[in-house]
Amino acid sequence: MGTIRIIGVPLDLGASRRGVDMGPSTLRIAQLADRLRGLGHEVEDVGNLRVPDRASLPPVESPLGFLSTITDVCRDLADACALAVREGSAPLVLGGDHSLGAGSVAGVATAFAEAGRRIGLLWLDAHGDLNTPMSTLSGNVHGMPVAHLLGHGDPGMARIARPAPAVRPENVVLVGIRDLDPAEREHARRFGIRVFTMREIDERGLRAVMDDALALAGQGTDGLHVSLDMDWIDPDEAPGVGTPVRGGATYREAHLAMEMLADAGRMVSMDVVEINPVLDLYNRTAELAVGLVGSAFGLRIL
């Protein structure tokens, strides 16, 4: 892997609860770049994408009213991620809410497609993010990126990748899911993706689940994009998230997943999203995230 290119996306338009726009700053304060350089990586931090401030936009009834603005941000992010890949760098995207995944994954997929290659997607999250504007109960756009990456939902957001859709359903794997809307359950079946719930992790263990997830996402692909929502981890360990759900991955399970990613050597890009410092304790969640990114990029105990 060449240079790691850090791209901040202070986006909170896709969520009802404010605060995740400060996520990129908390990760930088927790010395993310220094941690990666200490592992021997070259790191380039290109700063934050320009994201309109919520207060500067006309008021809306729900985040769905910001969909066109979010799509514009995702297009800009896709361009930035595609450029990074073309230049031999690995995009490391700091969020911000998870709606940005519709842009980061699309950009990496676009650059790979230009070279006749394709990517798999590993989505680590408490939620499925499989809603569309027609199915959503909350109006929260951060609950929609996976559906759009598969080509469903709003045409503008679903067609950011060139060609679209960004990923094939057989190479999309969700891990650690424990909170799905009824429509998302139906979409998971209809879209044809593999969803590993927390029950499967409880029954089979994280290692077995990750082995299967890596095999599915990697079959016939040339690299993996990993999208890590910090609410994937139990809120006892990661309290600073906007939509916490009890019963998530433990501290060691989360590190094991990242260590297995590093061992596999297939990861080409990564998101770290949904850190809300307003709800955090002493920047605990951001510091945990920095440790997990370190494990994903090669940090070892021995």
Extended beta strands in the chain, E state? 4-9, 43-48, 90-95, 120-124, 172-177, 194-197, 224-229, 267-273
- Say whether 234 is catalytic: no
Does 129 qualify as catalytic in the annotation? yes
Question: What tokens appear for 87 in the block?
Answer: 């230049």
Q: Which position among 142, 152, 225, 255 bears the catalytic label?
A: 142
Provide the terminal-to-terminal Cα distance of the chain, rounded to the nearest Å.
21
Cα separation, 169 vs 150, whole angstroms = 7
Catalytic residue among 41, 98, 152, 187: 98
> Is residue 259 annotated as a catalytic residue, yes or no?
no
What residues form DSSP beta bridges with 122?
173, 226
Please confirm, yes or no, whether 255 is among the known catalytic residues: no
Amino acid at 171: N
Q: Active site residue: 41, 127, 148, 225, which one?
A: 127
Which position among 234, 274, 280, 287 bears the catalytic label? 274
142 is catalytic: yes
274 labelled catalytic = yes
- Pick the catalytic residue: 97, 231, 259, 287? 231
Taking a C-beta distance cutoff of 8 angstroms, is the pair 226, 119 a contact?
no
**β-strand 4-9 against 43-48: which pairing, if any?**
parallel
28 backbone dihedrals φ, ψ, rounded to 5°: -70, -40
Report whether 13 contacts 63 (CB < 8 A). Answer: yes
- Which residue of the set 129, 234, 253, 259 is catalytic? 129
* Catalytic choice (229, 234, 253, 280): 229
Q: From the candidates 125, 179, 259, 287, give the one annotated as an active-site residue.
A: 125
Q: Which residues are catalytic?
A: 98, 125, 127, 129, 142, 229, 231, 274
